[in-house]
Copies of this chain bind each other. A is one copy, B any other.
Amino acid sequence: MWRPLDLDTWLERRSEKFEAIKTSVMEILEAVKSRGDAALFELTEKFDKIRIDSIEVGRQERKRALENISPSLRRALEKAKLRIERFHQMQLEGQSWFKEVDRGISLGVRLTPLKRIGAYIPGGKASYPSTALMCAVPAKVAGVNEICCCTPPPGSDATLAALEIAGVDEVYRIGGVQAIAAMAFGTESIRPVQKIVGPGNVFVTAAKLLVMDRVGIDFPAGPSDIVVVADETSIPQFIAADIIAQAEHDANAMSFLISFNNELLVSVQRTILEMAQRAERRSVIQSSLKNMGVVLVRDVEEAASIIDRIAPEHLSIQTRNPEALVKLIHNAGSIFIGPYSPVACGDYASGPNHVLPTIGYAAIYSGLDVRHFCKASFIQALSREGLSLVADIVEELAKAEGLYAHADSVKIRLGR
């Protein structure tokens, strides 16, 4: 049996080195910035090993993709879209408000959508129609007018179909750093956006961090991770299945198992080994299982403190009393409660976003949500009476800061 990692080794392995690739990423950004479309054609040939004829994926090609996919896939995408849409609509409730807080003082917040956003949909050899939905649907719900999607060639019918279903009508067959550069700086074919969202590899993330003075981004991310919490009531097959599912993403995917019970720990490991041998993607799975860690804990406090230290992208709690643990933790991108809430469900179908902060960034950032596509304006409306309620505060603080005209702007209104 293989030997899973301990917590410290696991955490060390998880870090991402943006610094090391900064220079090469900056060169690509610079090339697109200075030479536009010409650079996009060249870089696509260089990195994607594909010679493309056009940068934009035309209306015809996108419509054809929707016809090419199977009716059952189309139905599944449509159903997933509705569920994602519903969850993100619920996020908007109560976000804009305006209330009288004192006689003559009304305050509020008003949410408005961004005008133009960019979504990076990974692809290339693989195909991620679900990520297309997760990026585009919340933008639509927020009311974003222009959604600009970049996805590496050759692209897939499934991804193009998902974008059609989401109602996106601007898609480009460009990937990697060059896509981020195009959306940040603009080229002849791609107009610049206000914010770039969506997952990508370490190069894409480094590129997003390097264009932050031009455009907003969602958050940095690295390889995907999961923490599963188990006790003696957990079903080893379910947990093993979730860890295998995590492991099949790519060789860098990471899993960590926290158990209150040693027998369970042993039996999950045994089950994982058995399942891995039969799995379709067993070579990827066997590589990434080397990144699996385990720990045996005494109580929920210890479990919570480990989880907060890890700040997992996905947290699956399959114990008798999940709520007791949820209450104690602060850092987790997406939380899956109970034995019948596999992470795969959230990846595709239930509604919450699967674009989440990884490698510990859940301690600082929220997963992709409708707020990423909006910004808030504060609003205030005071009457003469309301103003007189706060006039002394303004005058006193303005004086303390030496900003006398600030005080005057109140005095003149109240005839003082």
A residues bordering B, Cβ < 8 Å?
18-19, 69, 72-73, 75-77, 79-80, 83, 86-87, 90-91, 93-94, 97, 99, 101, 105, 107, 109-110, 112-115, 126-130, 158, 194-195, 206, 209, 212-213, 215-216, 220, 237-238, 241-242, 244-245, 247-249, 275, 279-281, 285, 315, 322, 326, 329-353, 362-367, 369, 371, 374-384, 386-387, 390, 392-394, 396-398, 400-410, 412-413
Q: A330-B113, A412-B238 are in contact. Are A366 and B362 (CB under 8 A)?
A: no
- Do A409 and B249 have beta carbons less than 8 Å apart? no
Q: Please, how many angstroms separate the alpha-carbon atoms of A241 and B409 in the complex? A: 5
What 8 pairs between A and B have smallest CB-CB spacing? A76-B396, A352-B378, A337-B381, A349-B390, A94-B94, A366-B376, A349-B393, A241-B409
Partner of A375, one of B93, B220, B350, B364: B364
- Do B242 and A409 have beta carbons less than 8 Å apart? yes
Question: In the complex, what's the smallest C-beta–C-beta distance from A235 to chain B, in angstroms?
Answer: 8
- Do A345 and B387 have beta carbons less than 8 Å apart? yes
Question: In the complex, what's the smallest C-beta–C-beta distance from A202 to chain B, in angstroms?
Answer: 11
Q: A212-B212, A393-B349 are in contact. Are A406 and B245 (CB under 8 A)?
A: yes
- Do A380 and B352 have beta carbons less than 8 Å apart? yes
Q: A248-B403, A331-B112, A400-B73 are in contact. Are A409 and B344 (CB under 8 A)?
A: yes
Contacts of A75 on B, CB cut-off 8 Å?
396
Q: A127-B402, A392-B76, A396-B73 are in contact. Are A330 and B245 (CB under 8 A)?
A: no
Contacts of A353 on B, CB cut-off 8 Å?
378
Contacts of A365 on B, CB cut-off 8 Å?
216, 375
Residue of B nearest to A332 (CB): B377
Q: Please, how many angstroms separate the alpha-carbon atoms of A407 and B279 in the complex? A: 11
Residue of B nearest to A86 (CB): B101
Partner of A397, one of B80, B215, B241, B380: B80
Contacts of A109 on B, CB cut-off 8 Å?
91, 369
Question: In the complex, what's the smallest C-beta–C-beta distance from A23 to chain B, in angstroms?
Answer: 13
Contacts of A247 on B, CB cut-off 8 Å?
405
Question: In the complex, what's the smallest C-beta–C-beta distance from A269 to chain B, in angstroms?
Answer: 16
